[in-house]
Structure 1
């Protein structure tokens, strides 16, 4: 229960920050999309490094203490953004808070350095046959609250959003202080991995997932700002709707796993999402763009609990934290390259090219999922 409350506080903060941060940079401070892309890139790389470090510490030291360390970074980040207009400090704040926009808030798109530890703890507390359900339930609740956070952003001034986000995320750190875990960390064989081959497969597919996310996810809101001149308050409504749809899509994960299994769930959902991404810049008609904006995140996250469950099942139980950390670091570093590319493309008004590149990268990724896991029993 404490982990659920922890996730909800952070998700509410993340939803508010995700909608407010690009407006803070692009509208309030009038920086370019390239600057926003550089900030997202720096934050992505920092989140990757933090995630890898925390993943190792969780396995070989203490999951609880490591989660507390990760938890305090988000409130510190929000306070910095609230208190300063200095570009350097905004870079630092984004790096500390993981404000990378490289993933849905349900999957750790803001404050993502804590995600591997949260998932490792859930793995410890659940049986294999229950994990898809619990991953999907926790993501569902987090995504619903994040969507509410996005909606709440329209009722506050841009700066006040970050002050409230700081207070809420600080509460999340306090909530987990009493948590008790029965499984102890493994202090032996700190760097030896029994599941290296499996981790390598998930790492390569995760890297391509990250690259594709970096190409498009940070620039969906700027796409509407640039193409349709949508105001922040109206965009908050759209983000709320998109978040709600994605939230309920997560509840389909247990059914997907039962009906299609791990591999086909990935192929079907990611394939449909890729098709929509390629269509988005071609038909720049607001209703069409909104339909895609509402659908893409749902298709992207629908099979995420299935993927996470499969990974934790295939990896040795004492290596889950490190596996998730390694997976995250490669995913986020590659996403930073996509973000840099798309930031430049948006600056020179080639806003369609990132979406087409996304389609090519995801096509390769889906093929590799099939190649690597076609014989999997998951």
Structure 2
């Protein structure tokens, strides 16, 4: 790996450590520290889940026009600012701003878009220009692995009893993620207009990834932000145990992702995503009905890695199919397609869990995940080799 890849990875790792502990603590802080209802939590999570994809879409588009590094640096300041608000105030409207900047409640938890949030399009596009197509699945896997390990390590910080101290640690570590990107050099030069053929091809690819992202966003947004709260309120686990479980889920996810390049090469991206996501869908369906904390814990640490093991292959496929001039736009559109529906489903899920039943969001998530897997089969069954760079791609 060249120096710029190392800098980008270090930035991703430091951001993930902060995101890891915040994924555990923020919801619990809302409920136990500020004594908010699940409905209020749903509004806060929904705000973060709604604003983040809008920022992702806008910033991804403008970074393709004006340069990825400068937009990335701006976006990396959002998380420290959001944590600073949590430290200094309990005003609900400022908490809404904090959630919007920090992306609290976005689907994905410790990994993938959940950690990347609005940063992901610029980071992915910068990384893509540093890595040849045949190596992208491996490098994206390594990035997600290290991010997941870092997120899992961050989750362990939840053993600290003081919310204020945890937020101060998260603030300091997340600030590092911005400073470490300063030496990165960007070689991409914005292209004002691509050929009609390339534009048509890119638009079709963006459309397909956006449509699949919608169902993925619904399935995750319904459940992921509320899992720490469900462990606390339904299964009566203490905060430290919840942090350990979420950390374990992140470690297992990261470890299994070492196999992603090999599994992708042997099974193909489509079979890999269908197999892992359908199994995870059934495990998600059973989660609220298990009754026994130990069974719920086992269920969680199995379905979490299965939901995201194919993510690096999906990123490589998208970057290999999209021309260089629109990679951040494509990544932003995919993020937005996933996270905007997750915003609505997160807000709705908070209301349903509060007023009707904890189980219903998990049932709907099951249906959405199965439908998402079907669409991947429909759209991408003929382009599996592109994920490993075996198909010629016009840059």
Q: Does 1:93 align with 2:98?
A: yes
1:255-309 per-residue CA deviation (whole Å, 9 max, x = no partner) reads: 1111111100110110110010111122222121111111111001100001111
3-state secondary structure, aligned to 1:259:
helix
In structure 2, the partner of 1:332 is 339
In structure 2, distance between residues paired with 1:265 and 1:307: 10
Give unpaired runs (5+ residues) of structure 1.
none
1:350 to 339, 343, 357: 357
- Correspondence for 1:295 among 302, 311, 316: 302
1:259 matched to 2:266? The reply is yes
- Measured against aligned partners, the alpha-carbon deviations of 1:217-274 in whole angstroms (never above 9, x if no partner) come to 1111111112122121221111111111111122121011111111001101101100
1:46 is the counterpart of 2:78: no
Q: Is the 8 A contact 1:144 1:244 kept in 2?
A: yes
**Residue 128 of structure 1: aligned partner:** 133
Once the two structures are overlaid, the 10-residue window that deviates more, 299-308 or 364-373, is 364-373
- Alignment partner of 1:209 is 2:216: yes
Moved more, 73-82 or 279-288: 279-288
Closer/same/farther in 2, CA of residues 156 and 225 from structure 1, 3 Å limit: closer
TM-score, reference length from structure 1: 0.97
1:156 is displaced (CA, Å) by 4.9
Q: Secondary structure at the match of 1:109?
A: helix
Aligned to 1:373: 380
Aligned length: 378
* Alpha-carbon spacing, 1:162–1:187, altered in 2? closer, same or farther (3 Å): farther
- Residue 152 in structure 1 maps to residue 157 in structure 2: yes
Cα deviation digits, residues 305-350 of structure 1 (max 9, x gap): 0111111111112111101111111211101121122111210250
> Aligned pair 1:28/2:33, yes or no?
yes
Deviation (angstroms), 1:89? 0.8
CA contact (8 A) 2:270 2:384 kept: no
Change (3 A) 1:241 1:198: same
What is the aligned counterpart of 1:4 among 2, 9, 16? 9
2:129 and 2:184 mapped to 1: Cα distance? 13
Q: Which residue of 2 aligns with 1:81?
A: 86
Q: Could you tell me which of 270, 279, 282 is aligned with 2:289?
A: 282
Q: Which residue of 2 aligns with 1:229?
A: 236
Asked if structure 2 preserves the Cα contact closer than 8 Å seen for 1:44 and 1:95, the reply is yes
TM-aligned CA deviation for residue 374 of structure 1: 2.0
2:24 to 12, 19, 22: 19
- Would you say 1:220 and 2:230 are equivalent positions? no
Aligned-partner Cα distance in 2 for 1:7–1:359: 30
Match of residue 248 from structure 2: 241
What's the RMSD between the two structures over aligned residues?
1.6
Structure 1 stretches (4+) deviating beyond 6 angstroms?
none
C-alpha separation in 1, matches of 2:106 and 2:334: 17
